[in-house]
């Protein structure tokens, strides 16, 4: 079966949401919220500095995705890409699509003259961590921390 990897467009968003639902089902930090994810994908796809790679089956159905957004790194001295949301539909796993999606984003980062790519992964997803190591990613001593900001918190002042 022949798959293609390309850049997502706004018309693809509804096909991406079920993939995010599969991803967030295994990530303990997040819950699926269709409206919130629709809005975020709309913003990412509209931003020329961001990329949303999609894997399509021969019938044109999207069966995988990965996103990359820019960040400015003082350590690297410029832009780096932050890869997130790497997911392939369970029925299409084991066919090299995840590798193709990540490599597509790395190529996009190189075209944009980014200095590096970083990748966010759930630390309990052992198969994914092994997969990323096979692609040449290495774990750093850094750890991601997060603090939620209540919506409208600064409007109340």
| pLDDT the model gives residue 153 | 67
| pLDDT the model gives residue 156 | 57
| pLDDT the model gives residue 60 | 95
Q: Which two tokens stand for residue 95?
A: 């066919």
User: Domains (ranges, CATH) in the chain?
Assistant: 4-134 (3.40.630.30)
| pLDDT the model gives residue 105 | 98
Tell me the whole-structure pTM to 2 decimals: 0.91
| pLDDT the model gives residue 44 | 97
Query: How far is 100 from 55, CA to CA, in rounded Å?
Result: 8
Phi, psi of 48 (to 5 degrees): -65, -20
pLDDT along the chain (157 residues), means of 10: 94 98 90 95 96 97 98 96 97 96 98 96 91 94 87 67
Residue among 17, 72, 71, 6 nearest 42 (CA): 17
- Full strand arrangement of the beta sheet holding 78-88: 4-7, 51-56, 62-73, 78-88, 116-119
Query: How far is 94 from 133, CA to CA, in rounded Å?
Result: 16
Strands 4-7 and 51-56, bridge-based pairing: antiparallel
């Amino acid at each position: 079966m022949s798959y293609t990897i390309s850049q997502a467009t706004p018309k693809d968003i509804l096909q991406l949401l079920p993939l995010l639902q599969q991803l967030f089902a295994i990530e303990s930090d997040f819950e699926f919220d269709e409206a919130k994810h629709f809005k975020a994908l709309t913003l990412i796809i509209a931003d020329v500095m961001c990329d949303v790679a999609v894997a399509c089956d021969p019938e044109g159905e999207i069966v995988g995705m990965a996103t990359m957004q820019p960040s400015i790194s003082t350590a690297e001295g410029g832009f780096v890409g932050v890869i997130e949301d790497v997911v392939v539909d369970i029925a299409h796993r084991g066919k090299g699509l995840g590798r193709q999606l990540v490599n597509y984003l790395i190529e996009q980062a190189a075209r944009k003259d980014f200095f590096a790519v970083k990748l966010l992964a759930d630390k309990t997803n052992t198969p994914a961590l092994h997969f990323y190591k096979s692609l040449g990613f290495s774990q750093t001593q850094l750890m991601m921390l997060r603090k939620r900001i209540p919506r409208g918190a600064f409007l109340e002042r």
